[in-house]
Structure 1
């Protein structure tokens, strides 16, 4: 009877069920079967949920609930990323693992991607992506089994930058973790290691302006080449991406932008014009934990963001880990450290 009551409670308080209308007025087609890239845990309950951001876009998430909640109000975590991934990949793995450790967790698909609504498909901006984290906080704070004064966020890869930006502007977020973080505004506007010249940037913006006219003329956006297809001779980090996103034994998912799909050609425009992390110091006095791999090509993003952030802050470099290792290699992802961080700071 206790188990039945618990499930009735959970079912009645999940605001947003599987059957719902999208922002465009059509019905979202949501999967009911387990289609994650990781094994299902028997230690947590899983629910498919929907909620809206402040732009009216319906987001779809996976809610993970410890089985021993039994009427208690728990700390909660919203989990997003990597950039171009879906909730069935790394964010879901992080969410399920942290639920096993006693947190209510929500992994969600960003606007315009995965199972979430938004037309056209596979486009985003730094503002909308940051807003999606706050919308997840909205949802979590309305659940009867969540203590809304104890909500944190985890951002992976490009969503590490979104998580930090969300924490800076949304004071309801009490602690933030970025893992293998990318600053998407920085890399899109300046290239890797800030190598893009003003002349190159200007040429790219001129080309994107011309592409806008083409898209407006046809009424449909042009898309970039498929992501993570190898032709030979690529840098090792691109091979690592391919080995994760395109391997059915590891991280491939048909709805993921990075699993052989693509962003629109003009997706980078807003990232080139509106920087993330401008107000990173304003996360303080709430704590931030930066996690990155020792061998990651992207390590400099976390190091410079950490330097710019105010105390309290901590930078953890995972020995021997590459960028992609922190997507799914559970022996390298420092879940013990993440758990201690949130248990210490969400109380």
Structure 2
């Protein structure tokens, strides 16, 4: 059997990339320690909607039909229709997490001209492959260390807590950050537990 024990690789993913980081670690045992901060399960939200409110075959099939029609339209047009980034201007009745996204992606705090959330979003059809499989099917087989961080007030907290329940072993840790929202763990240095993250990597990836 190939020797992967000598590797010293750690990964840290934020938001959608947090879920992807765990999925990658499941597939690659060279990754000795993974931190998923304010994570999304992109396959779950693509297939089920936020808070699983669209979790039915009827709604998924309707979405598939609409997206399939969009693929045909994109082919005819020779370009991809974009889904739109964070809504702007911000409606007064927007949910708090949408307001938080706007305050990050649509202001100098987090705006970038190549960010889909800051500009015109992903292709409308980009969600199709995410709807067709689920992350974490083999999460219980992940032997190496994982820390999941989530804000106490994060709308996405259920992604992290439910994913943590799938993990096995005493090298897994769920840390809920008091008073933090989803976007606080992007860049709020008063909320991000840098010391705990450093301790985690030091413990599971000790210096040689």
Taking structure 2 as the reference length, what is the TM-score of the superposition? 0.92
Q: Does 1:156 align with 2:5?
A: no
Tell whether the 8 Å contact from 2:86 to 2:98 is kept in structure 1 after alignment. no
Q: What is aligned with 1:232?
A: 92
What is the aligned counterpart of 1:276 among 135, 141, 160? Answer: 135
Moved over 2 A (4+): 225-228
Tell whether the 8 Å contact from 1:175 to 1:342 is kept in structure 2 after alignment. yes
Q: What is aligned with 2:31?
A: 173
SS of the residue aligned with 1:266? helix
Alpha-carbon distance in structure 2 between the residues aligned to 1:210 and 1:261: 20
By how many angstroms is 1:232 displaced? Answer: 2.8
Q: Which has more helix, going by share of residues?
A: 2
The answer to which structure, 1 or 2, has the higher relative contact order (CA under 8 A, 6+ apart) is 2
Alpha-carbon distance in structure 2 between the residues aligned to 1:152 and 1:228: 34
Q: How does 1:136-151 map to 2 (within 5 A)?
A: 149-151=7-9
What RMSD, in angstroms, separates the aligned Cα atoms of the two structures?
1.2
Q: What is aligned with 1:333?
A: 192
By how many angstroms is 1:261 displaced? Answer: 2.4
Question: Which segments of 5 or more consecutive residues in structure 1 lack a partner in the other structure?
Answer: 1-147
- How many residues align structurally? 198
Alpha-carbon distance in structure 1 between the residues aligned to 2:117 and 2:124: 14
> Which deviations, in whole Å up to 9, do the C-alpha atoms of 1:210-252 show, x marking residues without a partner?
111111122211111343322331100000000011111x111
> Which deviations, in whole Å up to 9, do the C-alpha atoms of 1:268-311 show, x marking residues without a partner?
00000021111112221x11101000011110111010001111
Q: How does 1:310-329 map to 2 (within 5 A)?
A: 310-311=168-169, 312-329=171-188
Taking structure 1 as the reference length, what is the TM-score of the superposition? 0.56
Q: What is aligned with 1:121?
A: none
Alpha-carbon distance in structure 2 between the residues aligned to 1:231 and 1:331: 28
